Amino acid sequence: MLMGRPFFGWPLAGWREFDELDRLRRRLDALSETIWPAAGAAGVYPLFNITEDADNYYVRAELPGMTGSDLDIKVTGRALSISGQRKAETDPEASYHRRERRSGTFDRTITLPAEVDADKVDARMKNGILTVTLPKAAHAKPRQIKVKS
């Protein structure tokens, strides 16, 4: 029977080395969760969708429970920055079994494909979705070139 016998110097059963590696991985995961608590979360916050048409870029961000006064939006060149504070809804009488909704400050900056006209940027909040309309700068818009014959 081959079980437990070495095969080219490696045992075929009972690889305790892999058990130790798995234990080490679990310990490192636990350590990283204490250092970076959001590492195990859904990812960056807020979540963005970025689209464009011929004249504008549109950035839509999920910000449930927030209002426009909770946000600070800045545009410089090709960068859009959205920051704010998400307040915790705590009940001192409650005993939590699970608490996954994060609270605190956030700051997210994205780089757009081209420069925008910062003077004409518009931001609107509806049903927890922030929509930022960023008009493309005149030199960033595509131009139709007529061919002369």
For residue 26, the model assigns a pLDDT of 83
For residue 39, the model assigns a pLDDT of 43
Distance (Å, whole) CA 120 – CA 124: 13
Residue with tokens 């001192």: 92
pLDDT tens for 27-76 read 887 777 666 655 444 456 888 999 999 899 999 999 988 888 889 999 98
Across the chain, the runs of DSSP E, i.e. the strands, are: 6-7, 10-11, 48-52, 56-62, 71-76, 79-86, 104-111, 122-126, 129-135
For residue 76, what are its two tokens? 């410089």
Every domain of the chain and the residues it spans: 12-38, 44-87+104-140
Q: What is the dihedral of CA 68, 72, 116, 129, to 10 degrees?
A: -40
Q: What is the mean predicted confidence (pLDDT) over 94-112?
A: 84
Residues in the chain: 149
- Report whether pLDDT(107) > 80: yes
Average pLDDT, the chain: 81
Per-residue pLDDT band for 132 (boundaries 50, 70, 90) equals very high
- Report whether pLDDT(122) > 70: yes
Q: What CATH number belongs to 44-87+104-140?
A: 2.60.40.790
